[in-house]
Amino acid sequence: MGRVLLPVLASALLLADPAQAADAPLNGPPGASSCTGCHATTRIADSVIPRIAGRKAADIVTFMREYKSDAWPSSVMGRIAKGLDDQQTDAIAAWFAAQPE
């Protein structure tokens, strides 16, 4: 029974509507998926973590560079920012800026 059920479940996941994916950016640049682990792509009431979809790319880049330089203290963002080079940060920021707010 388990051998039959596993392929059926796997097929169902592959055929599922991509809009139902857990806040994963579709066709985003490399590194963008690390953002959506915390920054939701849909509105969440009372979330202290801001949404970044639709924000100005320049603002996103500024924040990321400030986290990278330790100008802003953080527990997670600094580590993420330090793992991206300037081109990756620019691409991710441009992609999120182009997403609907």
- Which domains does the chain carry? 23-97 (1.10.760.10)
Kindly indicate the confidence band of residue 9, based on its pLDDT and cuts at 50, 70 and 90.
Answer: very low
- Spatial separation of the C-alpha atoms in residues 31 and 77, rounded to whole Å: 13
Number of Cβ atoms within 10 Å of the Cβ of 63: 19
pLDDT per residue as tens digits for the range 18-67:
343 344 446 789 889 888 888 877 777 778 888 899 999 999 999 999 99
Q: Closest Cα partner for 60 from 25, 88, 26?
A: 88
